[in-house]
Amino acid sequence: MHSFGYRANALLTFSITILALMCAMASVSDNFNTPTTSAQVQVLNINWFQKQPNGNDEVSMTLNISADLQSLFTWNTKQVFVFLAAEYETPKNSLNQISLWDGIIPTKEHAKFWIHTSNKYRFIDQGSNLRGKEYNLTMHWHVMPKTGKMSADKIVMPGYRLPVEYR
Amino acid sequence: MGWVADTLHSVTSIQLRELFNHFISLGLIVTSALVIWKVLICVSGCQSPVVVVISASMEPGFGRGDILFLHTSKDPIRAGDIVVYNIDGKDIPIVHRVIEVRERQNTEEAYILTKGDNNPSDDRVMYNPGQKWLQEHHIMGRAVGFLPYVGWVTIIMTDIPVLKYILIGALGLLVLTMKE
């Protein structure tokens, strides 16, 4: 009844239960955080804008991205993955969603940032629809927890327009 | 001589009963594990609701040995989602992030491109030759939950298979020899 095996078993079961409970509570506590975030993106320059030999439009741009995501961080946050996507509609596709830039924010101290960058991933259309195209820039973020449920949200910034002519 | 036979019978029947008891409790453990797994499949809508991360391609978000809980829903897949996909003809599922989505106007078919957060370039090099996009049938699920380190148990067991048999044997022996 009180053998070593029984005691070891009871101790192990108890500690695993407590650990699981603590993980669950840490994850639940994230729900009490209501973040307020802000983001601004400026397209400073269209570096070049042309039609590839295969007929697809490609554009390269310089962006100024600034955001304040500090309120996303709680004690259960491991990192925040943030990315900026261009979103637009064409006759062929009801949705085109292209990531232009992304970054990993490791701590709250780095969560208020601004960056001056050209697009990290290529902005290519499936076809030749980009001239004069109106598009949204959307700042997405993905909160990765130390343990438990992951969450994501976004800020949509509408009303950007590409130039009418290639350059 | 009757009492000898009686005693012998009572002794064997007790042992037999104990043996049955042990087998039943062993069976209960195995079946409850199965029930939990099947319930997880029902709730998540995934064939394999839990995956273990085996590569460092999503560092520092997910490291080797972390566990991800998957979910399948009707919601369309969008950029930023972390999906688990399986390339035709390869049997190791991959957990990466969606960076590009093209959804067709009439059929609503989605063409998806993925990338590991820690990889320098997108996943087209990992797809089959000539394959440029993932489609819905490649996607096994979307990661919704995260539990660190627990997956090391399975990684160690697949790396050193002997350990698996030793562990199963020891557990079985423990259950069978346990006194009430």
Q: Is residue B174 part of a domain?
A: no
Read off the pLDDT band of B179 (50, 70, 90): low
- Is the minimum CB–CB distance between A21 and chain B shorter than 8 Å? no
Q: Min CA distance, B147 vs chain A (Å)?
A: 5
| CATH number of the domain residue B129 falls in | 2.10.109.10
- Is the minimum CB–CB distance between A91 and chain B shorter than 8 Å? yes
Q: Tell me which H or E stretch contains B134.
A: none
Q: Which of B10, B22, B88, B123 is flagged as catalytic?
A: B123
**Cβ atoms of residues A100 and A63 within 8 Å:** yes
Residues B140 and B116 in one domain: yes
- Is the minimum CB–CB distance between A45 and chain B shorter than 8 Å? no
Q: Which of B44, B57, B66, B138 is flagged as catalytic?
A: B57
Nearest alpha carbon to residue B48 among B57, B56, B40: B40
Residues B57 and B128 in one domain: yes
Measured distance CA(B108)–CA(B85) in Å, rounded: 19
Read off the pLDDT band of B99 (50, 70, 90): very high
Read off the pLDDT band of A88 (50, 70, 90): very high
- Domain of residue B34 covers 2-44
Residues B31 and B83 in one domain: no
Least confident range of A52-56, A112-116, B159-163, B172-176? B172-176
Q: Is residue B80 part of a domain?
A: yes
Per-residue pLDDT tens for A8-32?
Answer: 889 999 999 999 999 999 999 999 9
Per-residue pLDDT tens for A121-143?
Answer: 999 999 898 999 999 999 999 99
Instruction: Write out chain B residues lying below 8 Å of A83, CB-based.
Output: 79-80, 99
Residues B75 and B133 in one domain: yes
Residues B98 and B129 in one domain: yes
| pLDDT over 70 percentage in chain B | 94
- Is the minimum CB–CB distance between A54 and chain B shorter than 8 Å? no
Q: Taking the C-alpha atoms of B53, B120, A98 and A122 in order, what is their torsion angle to the nearest 10 degrees?
A: -170
Q: Is residue B172 part of a domain?
A: no
Instruction: Write out chain B residues lying below 8 Å of A146, CB-based.
Output: 148
**Chain B 112-151, CB below 8 Å of chain A: which residues?**
117, 122, 143-148
Decide if A94 and B104 are in contact by the 8 Å CB cutoff. yes
**Cβ atoms of residues A1 and A39 within 8 Å:** no
What does the buried/exposed string (b/e) look like for B76-88 if buried means 16 or more CB atoms within 10 Å of the residue's CB?
Answer: ebbbbbbbbbbbe
Task: Check if B96 is active-site.
Answer: yes
Task: Check if B123 is active-site.
Answer: yes
Measured distance CA(B133)–CA(A4) in Å, rounded: 57
Residues B33 and B70 in one domain: no
For residue B57, what pLDDT is reported?
Answer: 86
Q: Is residue B38 part of a domain?
A: yes
pLDDT at residue A2 is higher than 80 = no
**Cβ atoms of residues A151 and A30 within 8 Å:** yes
For residue B1, what pLDDT is reported?
Answer: 60
Residues B57 and B133 in one domain: yes
Residues B22 and B77 in one domain: no
Q: What is the domain count for chain B?
A: 2
3-state DSSP assignment of residue A43: strand
Instruction: Write out chain A residues lying below 8 Å of B67, CB-based.
Output: none
Residues B94 and B143 in one domain: yes
Q: Is residue B177 part of a domain?
A: no
Task: Check if B138 is active-site.
Answer: no
For residue B143, what pLDDT is reported?
Answer: 92
For residue B101, what pLDDT is reported?
Answer: 93
- Is the minimum CB–CB distance between B26 and chain A shorter than 8 Å? no
- Whole-number Cα distances in Å, A133 to A18, A128, A162, B100: 56, 10, 5, 18
For residue B97, what pLDDT is reported?
Answer: 93
Decide if A96 and B79 are in contact by the 8 Å CB cutoff. no
pLDDT at residue B11 is higher than 70 = no
- Is the minimum CB–CB distance between A100 and chain B shorter than 8 Å? no
pLDDT at residue A162 is higher than 80 = yes
Measured distance CA(A58)–CA(A74) in Å, rounded: 40
Measured distance CA(B79)–CA(B66) in Å, rounded: 23
pLDDT at residue B154 is higher than 90 = no
Q: Is residue B109 part of a domain?
A: yes
ipTM: 0.86
- Whole-number Cα distances in Å, A28 to A4, A24, A91, A119, B95: 36, 6, 43, 37, 25
pLDDT at residue B4 is higher than 80 = no
Q: Is residue B169 part of a domain?
A: no
Decide if A126 and B102 are in contact by the 8 Å CB cutoff. yes
Decide if B144 and A85 are in contact by the 8 Å CB cutoff. no
For residue B96, what pLDDT is reported?
Answer: 93
For residue B126, what pLDDT is reported?
Answer: 87
Read off the pLDDT band of A1 (50, 70, 90): low
Q: Is residue B124 part of a domain?
A: yes
pLDDT at residue B130 is higher than 90 = no
Q: Which residue of A has its CA nearest to B142?
A: A150
Cβ neighbours of residue A64 closer than 8 Å, sequence gap 6 or more:
A41, A42, A44, A114, A115, A116
Dihedral-angle region of residue B108 (phi above 0 means left; psi in -120 to 50 means alpha; beta otherwise): left
Residues B33 and B98 in one domain: no
For residue B17, what pLDDT is reported?
Answer: 81
3-state DSSP assignment of residue B155: helix
pLDDT at residue B173 is higher than 60 = yes
Average pLDDT, whole number, for chain B? 86
Q: What is the mean pLDDT of residues A144-160?
A: 92
Amino acid identity of residue B69, one-letter, is F
Per-residue pLDDT tens for A41-87?
Answer: 999 999 999 999 998 999 999 999 999 999 999 999 999 999 999 99
Read off the pLDDT band of B58 (50, 70, 90): confident
Nearest alpha carbon to residue A84 among A57, A110, A54, A62: A62
Read off the pLDDT band of B66 (50, 70, 90): very high
Residues B55 and B119 in one domain: yes
Task: Please name the member of A79, A152, A154 whose beta carbon is closest to the beta carbon of B61.
Answer: A79
For residue A100, what pLDDT is reported?
Answer: 94
pLDDT at residue B105 is higher than 60 = yes
Residues B141 and B66 in one domain: yes
